[in-house]
Amino acid sequence: MENNKQHKKERLSLATVKRLPTYLRYLKSMEGKCEYISSVTIAEAMNLSAIQVKKDIAAVSSVEGKPKLGFVLKDIVADMEKLLGYNNMKAAVLVGAGKLGTTYLSYTGFSKYGITIAAAFDQNQYLWNSEINGIKVYPMDKLKSFVRDNDIKMGIITVHKDDAQDVCDKLVDAGIRGIVNFAPTHLIVPDGVELQNEDIAVTLVVLSYKLQNLMDNDNNN
C-alpha cells in the first residue's frame, strides 16, 4: 500500500496540491461531526465541482470510499496530512525582518502545516539579536552557517525586490532547496531548487479580472 501511495503522490498535479490544504481545513472542521464524508458533501460545502473533488480525494486516499457513505473522515485527513508533510515538521529561515517579514514571523499558524521558522536574518544591525514572536534575528553573515548547522532546506524571502535575487543566491549557496518569494520580482534559481512566487499584485489582478466577468454577466442578464 505504501508503494501505491507514493506512486499516487508523484502523479499529483500542482493544481491538486494547491487545493489540498483547503480541503484539509474543511475536513478538520468536520471532525467529531461525522464518521464518513462524501466528495459531493465536500463539493457542496466548498462550492466546487463534485467531479473534481472526487478525483482529488481519490488521488490522495490510501483506501477507496464506500458506496453511499464516502470516505472515512479520519483516514482521509491522515492521508492528506501525511502527503503534505504536516506530520514531518520542516524548519525554514526567513530573510527580511521588516514590516512584511515581521507579519509572517508573528503568525502562529505555520506549525499546523508542518512548518516552523527557526530564525530570521536581516542586514539592519538594529534588528540583530532581537526576537520577534520568540524567533531570533541574526545578521546576514550568519545565514550560511546557521542553515548548514541546522540542516534547513526551506527559505522565505521578504526583502525589497532590489535585494531579492542576492538573497536568493545566498540561500541557494547555503544549501536551501525550496524558496518562497514574497518580493514582487522575478528570481532565477538553479536546477534542483524549487521556487514558489507569492505576488499579491498578481492575485489582485486575477481577482479584478474575475470580478469584472461577474459584473459583465450581471449586466447581460
Q: Dihedral (C-alpha) 87, 89, 94, 100: value to the nearest 10 degrees?
A: 30
Q: What's the CATH code of the domain at 117?
A: 3.40.50.720
Residue 207 lies in a domain: no
| Predicted pLDDT of residue 153 | 94
pLDDT grade for 89, boundaries at 50, 70 and 90: confident
| Predicted pLDDT of residue 207 | 79
Domain shared by 177 and 152, yes or no = yes
Each residue's pLDDT tens digit, 201-210 = 777 777 787 7
Report the alpha-carbon distance of residue 163 to residue 181 in Å, rounded. 12
Average pLDDT over the chain reads 88
**Of 20-24, 82-86, 99-103, 172-176, which range is least confident?**
82-86
Each residue's pLDDT tens digit, 35-64 = 999 999 999 999 989 899 988 988 888 888
**Of 22-26, 30-34, 215-219, which range is least confident?**
215-219
| Predicted pLDDT of residue 9 | 45
Domain shared by 165 and 147, yes or no = yes
Q: Is 94 in contact with 58 (CB distance < 8 Å)?
A: no
pLDDT grade for 212, boundaries at 50, 70 and 90: confident
Domain shared by 64 and 103, yes or no = no
Compute CA 135 distance to the chain's CA centroid, rounded to the nearest angstrom: 20
Phi-psi sector, 32: left (phi>0), alpha (psi -120 to 50), beta: left
Boundaries of domain holding 7: 2-84
The one-letter amino acid code at 82 reads K
User: In three state form, how does the secondary structure of the chain look?
Assistant: CHHHHHHHHHHCCHHHHHHHHHHHHHHHHCCCCCCEECHHHHHHHHCCCHHHHHHHHHHHCCCCCECCCEEEHHHHHHHHHHHHCCCCCEEEEEECCCHHHHHHHHCCCHHHHCEEEEEEEECCHHHCCCEECCEEEEEHHHHHHHHHHCCCCEEEECCCHHHHHHHHHHHHHHCCCEEEECCCCCCCCCCCCEEEECCHHHHHHHHHHHHHHHHHHHHHC
Q: What is the mean pLDDT of residues 104-130?
A: 92
Residue 64 lies in a domain: yes
pTM recorded for the entire structure: 0.72
The tally of domains found in the chain comes to 2
Tell me the β-bridge partners of 139.
122
| Predicted pLDDT of residue 45 | 92
Domain shared by 63 and 103, yes or no = no
Residue with more model confidence, 121 or 66: 121
Domain shared by 100 and 186, yes or no = yes
Domain shared by 77 and 144, yes or no = no
Domain shared by 128 and 191, yes or no = yes
Domain shared by 98 and 78, yes or no = no
| Predicted pLDDT of residue 64 | 83
Q: Is the pLDDT of residue 1 over 70?
A: no
Q: What is the mean pLDDT of residues 110-123?
A: 90
Residue with more model confidence, 155 or 200: 155
Q: Which distant-in-sequence residues (6+ apart) come within 8 Å of 113 by Cβ?
A: 21, 84, 86
Domain shared by 183 and 148, yes or no = yes
| Predicted pLDDT of residue 145 | 97
pLDDT grade for 11, boundaries at 50, 70 and 90: low
